[in-house]
């Protein structure tokens, strides 16, 4: 096992009605004037933003509002948020929404207290300081509610990049599964696919003898395989929503990813899909992951056949390649069952786009022409992965 | 799933040589004058206390020392520590050792800033305030390095009780698996048994539909079943020690126990064994747990047969009782393989002690004559559990 640091100081308030404690939590964590950051009108129409405002008012917290965060959140709104926070003397950001809103809030939080361009953090500079962020989560997917990560799309060139730092781990996160019961089946399935991807990316490691985190990751994957189809059949079931919500956090706060190398190539390959076709990130991952696995699995037959047996229940007949290919088929069947696309054309993609996609993934924003992960992939190899999605 | 709060703000530094960063971490978390708290001479002889002192000196942290913590730590030394901290103006406790040392340090940390008798916290008062505690862990077992719990034995009556509060979650914990490689086989096995018990106590729940935490707990148990016999055969293997060390923390920081009822009856029944016979807590648990399970399993055949199949690999033949009894036998075989006792007589116990043990467990320190958990047990039923250990 590799040396590591793990720090997850987020206070989680989980359960029915917890959003009504937003104001108390902002106060507990030192906020006096908050920015309520959110996406489209649904959070307003549902009454959620109203409940959050009531709660802030009761706790004596002043606030400003900034809505309009889109899926695959954009740099333009981040700049706007930073200006607003500085002008209004905001000292706390309350993100009400899913991963996109939270990631946008984290970018604003880091950018507000930074002298340079916030994009520096998305070009490799580690975030050391930020305003505190609290979240009221409405989608179980990205795990941003418990992570020190944020992904933003730069409108100047339309590439999607990530930033990290313990400073952007939320001070608190409110997880009320009730808030996710109105989410339509498609977005619910996108979330489940994202959670599965976060687990796979930690599972695909070159580090040996990591039994404890292996078993934890497998356990979380098994929970998603059980709960995923169940929630699609019964979108309003509280316990199923609750299981998925906690798994989404655990999949990405990194307690099951520590001490081992991780592989984020698939996320990097997907990011160009959601940027180029403006599809949901989860849908892009459903298309990417089986294609990616079928391209790289030969590099560690032991690891992937362990996954086949323990996660997908494939019988151990000694033929590791066949076992892995069967597991990838079961993974695809699972994604199809919950309503996810499996091919590039379902996202609106065409074979002639592949050169552009691979160039963006491998050379955009200063990359050196390769992707580095479980396996190093050249631009030509990345094209091969995209071709497997056809 | 039940509503819950989860807060684990401990900073974990995991890996080789991390104890040399103790001073930097005390500084980072605001300490100026530390109490180094430890057990017997082995931490001094091994050079570990020396390295911790060097590290404090390099960081400019003054310190006092208080050694002498015994397994099943006692209230007398806690009172001594509180006096010392007040007299010397200590503002940070560094616990160097296993769960006993850390639990003693937590009691001192809470007692120093409390006007009343620290035992109030061990009689049911929640800990809201304490000096910050940092730990340098030398035994993977109790999980105290990541928990908000502490267990102390009151020398006035010799009963063992627990206290809780987020205020005693460590500010930092240094987990260097190298420090555990000198631990003899017996203590190593006691630690594994304790970790398994912490998982079982969370698994035995009356809460329905908790798939995510079920799968996480099962994963951690599977890791212990794999790594336990491995480490006993090769005590110095770093990766095995590392897997057990992280599992010990994850088993008890409660991320896999949230939102579900838990059952601490077995710990309560065991506490009287380690107090009365002064045996290792883990050894007491090895004797207690299979006896306890064989007494209560009929109350939830579904849950226990799930455990039999998923954790112990028992074939699902539909006869749940037989499956569970087979799993309990496999659990006992596992404990025996790692060198644990299975009967009261191996701890030096006799049938005639049982009335006293049950009275202490059920009526000591203001208890009402029953134990409450997965199943409510009267004093007579607790006697029956003790009899199953004969």
- Tokens representing A283 are 């849908």
Integer angstrom CA distances of residue B311 from A69, A215, B197, B306, B374: 44, 11, 14, 8, 19
- CB spacing of B216 vs A219 below 8 angstroms: yes
Name the residue facing B227 among A211, A216, A240 (closest C-beta).
Answer: A211
Residues A191/A241, Cβ–Cβ less than 8 Å = no
Question: Which residue from B11, B12, B222 is facing A215, i.e. has the nearest CB?
Answer: B222
Burial of A380 (0-12, 13-18, 19+ CB in 10 A): exposed
Q: Indicate yes or no: CB of A212 within 8 angstroms of CB of B218.
A: no
For residue B209, the enclosing domain spans 184-387
Give the per-residue pLDDT at B156: 86
Give the pair of three-digit tokens for residue A121: 């953090």
| Interchain contact, A219 vs B223, CB within 8 Å | no
**How large is the average pLDDT for residues A250-263?**
96
Are B244 and A212 inside 8 Å of each other by CB? Answer: yes
The helix-helix angle for B281-296 and B265-276 (nearest 10°) equals: 140
Q: Per the structure block, which two tokens stand in for B83?
A: 């006096």
For residue B114, name the pLDDT band (cuts at 50, 70, 90). very high
Q: What is the mean pLDDT of residues B365-386?
A: 92
Amino acid B364: pLDDT: 74
C-beta atoms of B9 and A9 within 8 A: yes
The residues that bridge with A96 in the sheet, in sequence order, are A38, A136
Contact criterion met (CB below 8 Å) for A227 and A334: no
CB A30 within 8 A of CB A61: no
pLDDT of residue B297: 96
Q: How far apart are CA A152 and CA A365, in angstroms?
A: 13
Residues A194 and A134 in one domain: no
Residue A191 belongs to a domain: yes
- The pair of structure tokens assigned to B167 is 């205020």
Q: Is residue A33 part of a domain?
A: yes
Residue A185 and residue A232 in contact, taking contact as beta carbons nearer than 8 Å: yes
- Residue A17: CB atoms within 10 A of its CB come to 12
Best residue in A2, A4, A5, A6 for a mutation probing chain B (most B CBs within 10 Å): A6
| Interface mutation vs chain B, best among A212, A247, A316, most B CBs within 10 Å | A212
Size of interface A-B (CB pairs under 8 A): 139
Q: Quick one: A147 and A204 in the same domain?
A: no
Cross-chain CB nearest to A13 (options B2, B5, B243): B5
Can you give the pLDDT at residue A203?
98
Chain A residues with CB under 8 Å of B208 CB are 239
- Kindly tell me if the per-residue pLDDT of B101 is higher than 90: yes
Nearest CA in chain A to B174: A5
Chain-chain contact of A12 with B14 (C-beta, under 8 angstroms): no
List alpha helices for chain B, DSSP H.
22-28, 42-45, 48-58, 75-88, 99-112, 185-203, 211-233, 238-250, 265-276, 281-296, 301-312, 320-337, 354-363, 379-387
Q: Is the dihedral of CA B102, B103, B104, B105 positive or negative?
A: positive
Here the tokens at position B286 are 């090895």
Residue A157 has pLDDT above 80, yes or no: no
In tens, the pLDDT along A303-353 reads 999 999 999 999 999 999 999 999 999 999 999 999 999 999 999 999 999
Predicted confidence (pLDDT) per residue in A45-77, tens digit: 999 999 999 999 999 999 999 999 998 899 999
Name every chain B residue with its beta carbon within 8 A of the beta carbon of A16. 3
CA distance B50 to A254: 33
Can you tell me the distance from the alpha carbon of A312 to that of A308, in angstroms, rounded to the nearest whole number?
5
Instruction: Give the one of A215, A226, A258 whose C-beta lies nearest to B14's C-beta.
Output: A258
Using CA atoms, how far residue B6 sits from B48, B246, B306, in Å, is 33, 19, 26
> Above pLDDT 70, what percent of chain B?
100
* Same domain, residue pair A209 and A69: no
Q: Per the structure, how many domains does chain A have?
A: 2
pLDDT at position A90 over 90:
yes
Q: In the predicted model, what is the mean pLDDT of residues B98-103?
A: 97
CA gap A130, A112 in Å, rounded: 7
Distance from CA of A353 to the nearest CA of B (A): 39
Q: Where does residue B352 rank: exposed (0-12), middle (13-18), buried (19+ CB within 10 A)? A: exposed
Q: Say what the pLDDT of residue A71 is.
A: 87
- Domain end (from B149, B179, B209): B179
The CATH code of the domain that includes A54 is 3.40.50.1970
pLDDT of residue B160: 80
Can you tell me whether residue B8 is helix, strand or coil?
Answer: strand
Q: Do A103 and A81 fall into the same domain?
A: yes
Instruction: Kindly state whether residues B159 and B191 are assigned to the same domain.
Output: no
Of A179, A204, A234, the residue at which a domain comes to its end is A179
A105 with A54, same domain: the answer is yes
Of the candidates B297, B199, B288, the residue with the CA atom closest to the CA atom of residue B252: B199
Substitution target in A1, A15, A249, A311 with the highest count of B β-carbons within 10 Å is A1
Cβ–Cβ of B212/A247 closer than 8 Å? yes
Which of B210, B215, B259 lies nearest to residue A14, judging by beta carbons? B259
Shortest Cα distance from A176 to chain B (angstroms)? Answer: 9
CB-CB under 8 Å, B11 with A5: yes
**Distance of residue B153 Cα from the nearest chain A Cα, in angstroms:** 31
Name the burial class of residue A136, with classes exposed (0-12), middle (13-18) and buried (19+) by CB atoms within 10 angstroms of its CB: buried
Is there a domain that residue B5 lies in?
no
Q: Are residues B148 and B45 in the same domain?
A: yes
Beta bridge partners of B154: B159
DSSP assignment letter at B147? -
Residue A357 is predicted with a pLDDT of 95
Chain A residue nearest residue B227, CA to CA: A211
A255 contacts in chain B (CB < 8 Å) = 250, 255
Find chain A residues with C-beta within 8 A of B258's C-beta. Answer: 14, 246
Contact residues on chain B for A5, CB-CB shorter than 8 A:
11-14
10 Å Cβ neighbour count for B82? 21
Kindly determine whether residue B15 and residue A6, on different chains, have CB atoms separated by under 8 Å: no
Give the chain B residue whose CA is nearest to the CA of A227: B211
> Rounded distance, CA A247 to CA A253, Å?
10
Best probe of the B interface among A199, A208, A211, A225, by most B CBs < 10 A, is A211
For B34-78, the pLDDT digits (tens) are 999 999 888 999 999 999 999 999 999 999 999 999 988 999 999
Decide if A223 and B214 are in contact by the 8 Å CB cutoff.
yes
Decide if pLDDT at A41 tops 90: no
Which own/partner contact pairs does B365-372 have at CB distance under 8 Å and 24+ positions apart?
Answer: B365/B123, B365/B154, B365/B157, B365/B159, B365/B161, B366/B123, B371/B265, B371/B268, B371/B269, B372/B265
With pLDDT > 70 as the criterion, what percentage of chain A qualifies? Answer: 100
Q: What is the DSSP letter of A59?
A: T
User: pLDDT value at position B219?
Assistant: 98
A139 contact partners, CB below 8 Å, separation of at least 6:
A97, A98, A99, A180, A183, A187, A191
CATH, residue B331 = 1.20.1090.10
Which residue of A lies nearest to B172 if distances are taken between CA atoms?
Answer: A7
Cβ contact (<8 Å) for B4 and A15? yes
Which residue, B131, B155, B179, sits at the end of a domain? B179
* Burial of A284 per CB tally in 10 Å (0-12, 13-18, 19+): buried
What would the DSSP string read from start to end of B45-95? HTTHHHHHHHHHHHTT-EEEEE--PPSS-BHHHHHHHHHHHHHHT--EEEE
Average pLDDT, chain A: 96
Residue B318 sits at the vertex; the CA angle it makes with B313 and B319, to the nearest 5 degrees, is 90
Structure-token pair, residue A146 = 């418990």
Q: Are residues B36 and B167 in the same domain?
A: yes
Whether the predicted pLDDT of A366 surpasses 90: no
Three-class DSSP category at A7: strand
Q: What is the pLDDT of residues B357-367, one digit of tens each?
A: 999 899 876 78
C-alpha to C-alpha distance for B5 and A82, rounded to whole angstroms: 31
Residue B220 has its nearest CB partner, among A7, A15, A215, at A215
User: Is the separation of the CB atoms in A183 and A139 below 8 Å?
Assistant: yes
* Closest Cα in chain B, distance from residue A155 (Å): 36
What are the angstrom distances between the C-alpha of A384 and each of A201, A291, B380? Answer: 20, 9, 70
Question: Does residue A4 belong to any structural domain of this protein?
Answer: no
Q: A172-175 and A4-14: which strand pairing?
A: parallel
Return the structure tokens found at B266.
């077995």
Mutation target for A interface from B143, B195, B219: give the one with most A CBs within 10 A: B219
- The per-residue pLDDT of chain B, averaged, comes to 96
Please write down the HEC assignment for all residues of B266-322: HHHHHHHHHHHCCCCHHHHHHHHHHHHHHHHHHHCHHHHHHHHHHHHCCCCCCCHHH
d(CA A202, CA B50): 37
Separation in Å, CA of A384 to nearest CA in chain B = 35
In this structure, the answer to whether residues B271 and B332 fall within a common structural domain is yes
Cβ–Cβ gap A242/B259 under 8 Å? yes
In a domain, A6, yes or no: no
Sequence-distant (≥ 6) Cβ neighbours of residue A337 within 8 angstroms: A228, A229, A232
User: Residue B260's closest CA among B335, B206, B190, B340?
Assistant: B206
Q: What is the mean pLDDT of residues A23-36?
A: 98
Judgement on whether residues B49 and B171 belong to the same structural domain of the protein: yes
User: From CA A149, how far away is CA A165, in angstroms rounded?
Assistant: 7
The contacts of residue B66 (CB under 8 Å, 6+ apart) are B35, B36, B37, B38, B77, B80, B81, B84
Which of A3, A14, A211 shows the shortest C-beta gap to B243?
A211
Exposure of B131 in the CB half-sphere (CA atoms within 13 A): 30
Tell me which long-range contacts A86-91 makes (C-beta under 8 A, separation of at least 24). Answer: A86/A112, A88/A33, A88/A35, A88/A64, A89/A33, A90/A33, A90/A34, A90/A35, A90/A64, A90/A131, A91/A30, A91/A31, A91/A32, A91/A33, A91/A34, A91/A131, A91/A132
Mean pLDDT of A240-251: 98
Whether residues B223 and A242 touch (CB distance < 8 A) is answered with no
Q: What is the pLDDT of residue A160?
A: 80
How does DSSP assign A14-33, residue by residue? ESTTGGGGHHHHHHHTT-SE
Structure tokens at A349: 């993609």
| Judgement on whether residues B145 and B253 belong to the same structural domain of the protein | no
Residue A51 belongs to some domain of the structure:
yes
Same-domain pairing of A375 and A243: yes
Cα distances (angstroms) measured from residue A174 to each of A102, A144, B262: 12, 12, 23
Task: Please report whether residue A353 resides in a domain.
Answer: yes
In A, which residues are within 8 Å of B219 by CB distance? Answer: 215-220
CB contact under 8 A, B1 and A222: no
Residue in B368, B365, B305 with CA at minimum distance from that of residue B155: B365
Residue A3 domain-assigned (yes or no) = no
Tell me which residue has tokens 């050894």.
Answer: B283
Among B2, B215, B246, beta carbon nearest to A212: B246
Digit-coded pLDDT (tens) for B209-232? 999 999 999 999 999 999 999 999
Check CB contact under 8 Å for A7 and B8.
Answer: no
Query: Quick check: helix, strand or coil at residue B374?
Result: coil
More confidently predicted of A237 and A160: A237
pLDDT at A367: 84
Higher pLDDT, B387 or B40: B387
Residues of A in contact with B177 (CB under 8 A): 1
């Amino acid at each position: 096992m590799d040396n590591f640091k793990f720090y997850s100081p987020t206070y989680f308030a989980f359960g029915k009605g917890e959003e009504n404690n937003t104001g108390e939590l902002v106060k507990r964590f030192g906020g006096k004037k908050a920015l309520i950051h959110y996406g489209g009108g649904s959070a307003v129409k549902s009454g959620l933003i109203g409940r959050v405002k009531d709660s802030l008012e009761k706790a004596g917290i002043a606030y400003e509002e900034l809505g309009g965060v889109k899926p695959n959140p954009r740099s333009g709104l981040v700049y706007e948020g930073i200006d607003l926070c500085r002008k209004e003397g905001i000292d706390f950001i309350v993100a009400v929404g899913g991963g996109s809103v939270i990631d946008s809030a984290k970018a604003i939080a880091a950018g507000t207290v930074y002298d340079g361009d916030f994009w520096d953090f998305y070009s490799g500079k580690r975030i050391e300081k930020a305003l505190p962020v609290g979240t009221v989560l409405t989608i179980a997917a990205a795990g941003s509610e418990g992570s020190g990560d944020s992904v933003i799309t730069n409108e100047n060139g339309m590439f999607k990049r990530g930033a990290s730092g313990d400073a952007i781990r939320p001070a608190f996160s409110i997880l009320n599964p009730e808030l996710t019961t109105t989410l339509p089946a498609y977005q619910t399935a996108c979330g489940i696919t994202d959670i599965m991807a976060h687990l796979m990316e930690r599972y695909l490691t070159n580090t040996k003898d990591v039994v404890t985190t292996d078993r934890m990751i497998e356990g979380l994957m098994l929970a998603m395989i059980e709960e995923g189809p169940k929630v699609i059949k019964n979108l309003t079931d509280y316990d199923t929503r609750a299981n998925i919500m906690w798994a989404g956090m655990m999949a990405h706060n990194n307690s099951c990813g520590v001490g081992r190398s991780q592989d984020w190539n698939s996320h990097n390959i997907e990011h160009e899909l959601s940027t180029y076709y403006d599809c949901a990130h989860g849908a892009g991952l459903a298309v990417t992951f089986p294609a990616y696995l079928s391209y790289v699995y030969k590099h560690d037959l032991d690891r992937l056949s362990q996954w086949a047996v323990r996660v997908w229940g494939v019988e151990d007949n000694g033929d590791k390649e066949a076992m892995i290919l069967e597991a990838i088929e079961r993974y695809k069947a699972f994604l199809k069952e919950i309503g996810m696309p499996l091919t590039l054309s379902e996202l609106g993609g065409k074979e002639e786009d592949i050169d552009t996609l691979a160039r963006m993934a491998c050379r955009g924003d200063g990359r050196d022409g390769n992707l580095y992960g479980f396996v190093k992939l050249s631009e030509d190899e990345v094209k091969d992965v995209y071709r497997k999605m056809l």
